Amino acid sequence: MSRIDAKFAQLRAEGRKAFVSYVMAGDPDYETSVAIVKGLPAAGVDIIELGMPFTDPMADGPTIQHAGQRALDGGQTLEKTLQIVRELRKTDNTTPVVMMGYYNPIYSRGVHKFLQDAQDAGIDGLIVVDLPPEEDSELCIPAKDYGINFIRLATPTTDDARLPTVLQNTSGFVYYVSVNGITGSAAANAGTVGPEVARIKAATDLPVIVGFGIRSPEAARDIAGIADGCVIGSAIVSRIGAGDSVPQVLDFVSTLAAGAHSA
């Protein structure tokens, strides 16, 4: 059983929903990023999504784009991103970590070298937004051989004809993008999202986690209440970008986690 599977089994047993937090690796600098990531589990985070900074983040809005640029300007690399996870694993061997980003840095490193390094570092899952199911042989299927879940995005435009293709090699959980557009672009609406989550859950036994457009504890509660959990990224990253201290960031995260866990 993977760490992701074990976490969802634990949450089900406890009758709780998952709170997933996204932060950009290396933002605003490597040392601060390590401190934030290591503090997330104690702040109530069930699964950590760790962004891989990239020069052309086409699915991301300005908040995440700026975070990636800050990280790159500070010298963040894919190797340093893996090192953040290695640092976490020195004290935490149970919290799942999902790396989220784009294929180019992985391809440049070499798929099998990346997967071996990711496995060794303690990475549990991958979300690679620019690799569609038609390209599963590139990374998705090889990742399974290393015991790494490949988590697919479903969106409001993923219709019933497309959904089986999206789900066919997905593992860990399904990430439902609650709004059309880039990260941070609009607010998620539970009334709209609920039927879509139900439609996806009717087609898979995997947990469905909802992200994009969730910015407050109340929104986290509402969205987690109609799914298996929620993801919050831009709202957290904006605090980091505003210069909040590590304790301030983690205090904010704890309020979001409490919201999700109250669903």
- The DSSP output letter for 50 is E
- The DSSP output letter for 34 is H
Kindly give the interhelix angle for 78-89 and 30-39, rounded to the nearest 10 degrees.
40
Distance CA 259, CA 252 (A): 11
Active-site residue, 87 included: no
DSSP bridge partners of 231 = 20
Catalytic residue among 60, 117, 196, 228: 60
In order, the DSSP letters of 157-202 are T--TTTHHHHHTT--S-EEEE-SSSSTTSS---HHHHHHHHHHHHT
Summarize the chain as % helix, strand, coil (round to 5): 50, 15, 40
Catalytic residue among 14, 27, 46, 49: 49
Tokens of 144: 């399974």
What is each CA distance from 29 to 39, 41, 79, 84, 233, in whole angstroms? 16, 20, 14, 11, 17
Active-site residue, 138 included: no
Cis peptide upstream of residue 28 (ω within 30 degrees of 0): yes
Distance CA 218, CA 231 (A): 13
Contacts 24+ apart (CB under 8 A), 243-247: 243/28, 246/32, 246/35, 246/36, 246/39
Residues serving a catalytic function are 49, 60
